[in-house]
Amino acid sequence: MKFLADLGVSMTTTRVLREDGHEVIHLREEGLGRLSDAAILEKARKEKCVVLTFDLDFGDLLATTIQSLPSVIIFRLKNQTPTWVTPRLLETISSCKQELATGAVVIVEDTRYRLRRLPIEVK
């Protein structure tokens, strides 16, 4: 699976994903730290990446579009260190692989995750 890591995601987490066989682009490595959230989503869509972020705005942005991709994993964890984030991320990827491939927003919390398929229907 291919990922686009937002600035809040640790380079340690990025490294572990690569060691696990995933392709990962980190915005910091590409000098794109000032990219807007909308531009990050567009980059992920074009490059067929799943966005990794701590920024809740991505869920709101996806709700205003009718796009099925890119998928986004949003972390809402009390402990945001790589030693806590990375195993939760690996578990989530394993559990949600199919949904992430076809379009989903996954909110990763301390003891569970919540998944919503894309596009998000606003009622």
10-residue mean pLDDT profile of the chain (123 residues): values are: 96 97 95 92 96 93 87 96 96 96 96 92 63
For domain 2-117, give its CATH number from 3.40.50, 3.30.70, 3.30.43, 3.30.160: 3.40.50
Task: For residue 2, count other CB atoms closer than 10 A to its CB.
Answer: 14
Q: In what order do the strands lie in the sheet with 72-76?
A: 23-26, 2-5, 50-53, 72-76, 104-109, 113-117
Task: For residue 91, count other CB atoms closer than 10 A to its CB.
Answer: 12
Domain boundaries along the sequence of the chain? 2-117
- What gap in Å lies between CA 118 and CA 23, rounded to an integer? 22
Query: Tell me: the pLDDT tens digits for 11-28?
Result: 999 999 999 999 999 999
